[in-house]
Each structure stands twice: as structure tokens, then as C-alpha cells.
Amino acid sequence: MATSLETEHPVKAHAWAAKDPSGIFAPLKFSRRATGERDVQFRVLYCGICHSDLHLAKNQWGFTIYPLIPGHEIVGVVTEVGSKVEKFRIGDKVGVGCLVGSCRQCDECTNNQESYCPKQILTISSRYYDGSPTYGGFSNIMVADEHFVIRWPDNLPLDTGAPLLCAGITTYSPLRNFGLDTPGVNVGVVGLGGIGHLTVKFAKAFGSRVTVISTSASKKEEAIGKFGADEFVVSHDEEQMQAAAGTLDGIIDTASGNHSLLPLVNLLKPHGKLILVGAPEKLEVPVFPLLIGGKSIVGTANGGVKEVQDMVEFAAEHNILPDVEVIPFDYVNTAMERLEKNDVKYRFVIDVGNSLKAD
Ligand code: NAP
Ligand code: ZN
């Protein structure tokens, strides 16, 4: 693959990468930094595919650094630790999610909210402290500062569990932080995809009443029968939307594509909150309905490191696991096409350990 890498590091590694906005993936040899004194190096075994990986592969947000090695739902087994690493040993099962760095000093960082640190470093398509691009889990080796490494609970499977590291925390954090983790609260979920189906599972574990708002009538049976949702509303059915008007305390909006917010604001009770976690290119804010109902629209980004650790432990305790389709690397281009067409139930996970061998 004729792609130039900016920085040459000592640890030779293999990946699948996209080299331009066509978003087509091909094998790539690259390098990672040597394990620093506070770093953990691990062999990647599984990595989930988030819709953000797809947005980035196609440069839909305009800041992709190519070649892009995506993947921020990364799990594996520790192979090396730096001399000052305290939390991990060789052989431990670990994970890395959306973040690999932050300033560690600001109010957000000291409050365990690293995902709001202005100097946060994303696991992919970001720049590390030394200026080199960050590369994610579509690769056989990962190196990260131990602060951003998650201890994997013993009874949580690595393959099906991997998507918790982004999809899981992205809904767990707002459910917890906006009081939607209380029994009896009425929670809406827009979009029954990777994050959406986990929203149903976490919200039900918290004892909430859950309404799914979906563009896909065909997902009703699984939403209710398999994931335990209480109601299912097809978003383009005006009668169904009208019947649900004013019923919800909060909505987690996970839709990846452009859509209208007004019908969703109408579903909220007075003072209800529409929480945007999906990242389409453009959404219009319906001002008047917000004023009249004292309602708010807010955005949230994944979660802090401690929250991720709490979340995987909660998931292990309550047996909350994503529904996944495990695939080899040579299926990744097809997987991306299917993800774009909303044809995955409900997360692809790449079997990195068995389909990307070092030579
Ligand atoms: P996904 O698995 O593709 O699910 C998205 C779901 O949204 C689809 O299954 C579909 O559900 C619905 N949808 C798609 N296009 C839509 C449209 N135009 N209008 C209404 N609904 C639509 O994606 P995901 O991995 O869950 O990610 C969802 C979004 O969250 C992406 O934009 C991603 O980049 C973003 N994200 C944000 C964060 C964060 O920290 N805030 C973290 C991770 C991901 P139905 O078939 O049920 O309608
Ligand atoms: Zn993600």
C-alpha cells in the first residue's frame, strides 16, 4: 500500500487501514512506540467497529488523519509493562476505549471526566503528546498509558464484550449523569444500532421504562422480545409519535444520520432532556418547543476512565453484553458497507487475534 507514515517507531506492527476518503481498507505495516515507563503493551484479540470508525474512514467530520487505523473498542492480553506501571501485569486481560490521553490536571480530568478535557487525545485520528498520529485497534499490537487502560472483568467475554468500550460507555455515562438510571424513569432511545441496543439493555438493568424510536419497523420484535424494551415507535408513523407525545423524561439520541429533532422534543415531558450522542453532520435546533417546555438538548461524549471501569464491572455483574457478529479482517470492507446500510445486528467485532498474524 503506497501510504506514507509520518513517524517511525521501534515496535513493528500490522494493521488494516484506510488511506483516503474512499474509506477502503487494506493491510498496512506500521510501527508503535516502545513501551514507556507508564505504558502497557498488549496483543489485540478483538476490536469492535463503531459507526464513528466509518464516519472517520470517509472523512465525514473533516479531520481524519490518513492512513487511518481505526478501532476504539480494543481488548487483548498484556505482553509488556513499563517499569512504573502499577495496575497491570503481563497476562492480564485489558481494554482501551475512546481515549489514550488527556492533560490529567484540569477540572474535567481531576473529576474523572477525561472525555471533556480540552486536551484529550482520542485513540484514533488524533495526535499523541509527541505529535505522532494515534492508531487504533485494527492492529495486532496496542500501546497505551496505563491510566487509559481498563482492567477487564474475569467473567466478561472479550469478543462480545469489546463494544462496551465505546458503545457501552457512550450510553452508560449519560444514563447515569442525567438521572436516567432510576427505576420508573421513562427513557427513549433513538436508533436501535450498536449504541441504541445497549441503551435498552443498560436502561432496563437500571429499572427504567424504555421506548425505542426507530426508522426500522422490522426491529420491533427484537427490541421488545430480545432486549426488553417496553414500547416501540416507528419515527415516520405520525400516529405512533403522537400517541407517545409528552411521555419521556429523557431521550438518548444515537441516530448516525441527519434527522429532525422537533418530533423527538415533542416526545419529552416538560423539563425533559434530549441527549445527543449520535454525530450526524447537521441537526437543526427547534427553539420554541424548548422554551415552552423548559426542555433541553445536550450533547455528550463517551465517558471518563473511571466510568468506563465502573461500566464494564456493572455489565459483567448484570450480564449486559452487546449482540455481535464476529468477523475476520478480510471481511472489513463488506462490514463497513453493511454498517452504512444499517445492516448489522448490532455490532461487528473483528477477530483480530485470529485474522491478523504478525510475520
Ligand atoms: P449504528 O450501529 O450504525 O446505529 C445507528 C442507528 O441510527 C441505526 O441503526 C439506525 O437505527 C439509526 N439511524 C441511522 N440513520 C438514521 C437517520 N438518518 N435518521 C434516524 N435514525 C437513523 O451506529 P452506532 O455505532 O450506534 O453510532 C451511532 C452514532 O453515534 C454515530 O454517529 C457515531 O459516530 C456516534 N457516536 C458518538 C459517540 C459519542 O461519544 N457521542 C460515541 C460513539 C459513537 P434504526 O434502524 O433503529 O432507525
Ligand atoms: Zn465509538
Segments of the chain with pLDDT less than 70: 1-4, 357-359
Distance from residue 54's CA to the centre of ligand 1 (Å): 11
Number of domains in the chain: 2
pLDDT computed for residue 1 by the predictor: 41
> Which residue range forms the structural domain that includes residue 265?
168-299
The verdict on 125 and 262 lying in the same domain is no
- Ligand 1 neighbours (beta carbon < 6 A): 50-52, 55, 166-167, 170, 191-196, 214-216, 219, 254-259, 277-279, 300-302, 339, 342
Task: Write down the residue that cell numbers 438493568 correspond to.
Answer: 205
The verdict on 94 and 25 lying in the same domain is yes
Q: Is residue 307 part of a domain?
A: no
Can you tell me which atom of ligand 1 is nearest the CA of 256? 32
The verdict on 134 and 248 lying in the same domain is no
Tell me the ligand closest to 74's alpha carbon: 2
Question: Which of 124, 200, 254 maximizes ligand 1 atoms within 8 Å of its Cβ, making it the mutation to test the pocket?
Answer: 254
CA distance 151 to 13: 23
Q: Is residue 317 part of a domain?
A: no
The verdict on 9 and 136 lying in the same domain is yes
The verdict on 144 and 184 lying in the same domain is no
Q: Is residue 340 part of a domain?
A: yes
The verdict on 116 and 255 lying in the same domain is no
Helix (H) or strand (E) segment spanning residue 287: helix 287-293
Q: Is residue 24 part of a domain?
A: yes
Q: Is residue 312 part of a domain?
A: no
The verdict on 152 and 184 lying in the same domain is no
Distance from residue 343's CA to the centre of ligand 2 (Å): 17
Tell me the ligand closest to 335's alpha carbon: 1
Q: Are strands 186-190 and 248-253 parallel, antiparallel or unpaired?
A: parallel
Name the residue at shortest CA distance from atom 21 of ligand 1: 255
Q: Is residue 222 part of a domain?
A: yes
The verdict on 147 and 17 lying in the same domain is yes
CA distance 235 to 217: 9
The verdict on 151 and 177 lying in the same domain is no
CATH of residue 286: 3.40.50.720
Q: Is residue 142 part of a domain?
A: yes
Tell me the ligand closest to 256's alpha carbon: 1
Q: In the chain, which ranges are E strands?
A: 11-18, 25-32, 39-49, 74-81, 93-96, 99-101, 121-122, 141-145, 150-151, 186-190, 209-214, 231-234, 248-253, 268-276, 296-299, 324-327, 347-351
Can you tell me which atom of ligand 1 is nearest the CA of 51? 25
Q: Is residue 314 part of a domain?
A: no
Question: Which of 195, 201, 227 maximizes ligand 1 atoms within 8 Å of its Cβ, making it the mutation to test the pocket?
Answer: 195
**Of 109, 77, 101, nearest to 91 (Cα)?**
77
CATH of residue 153: 3.90.180.10
The verdict on 161 and 179 lying in the same domain is no
The verdict on 266 and 334 lying in the same domain is no
The verdict on 187 and 261 lying in the same domain is yes
CA distance 186 to 355: 43
pLDDT computed for residue 358 by the predictor: 61
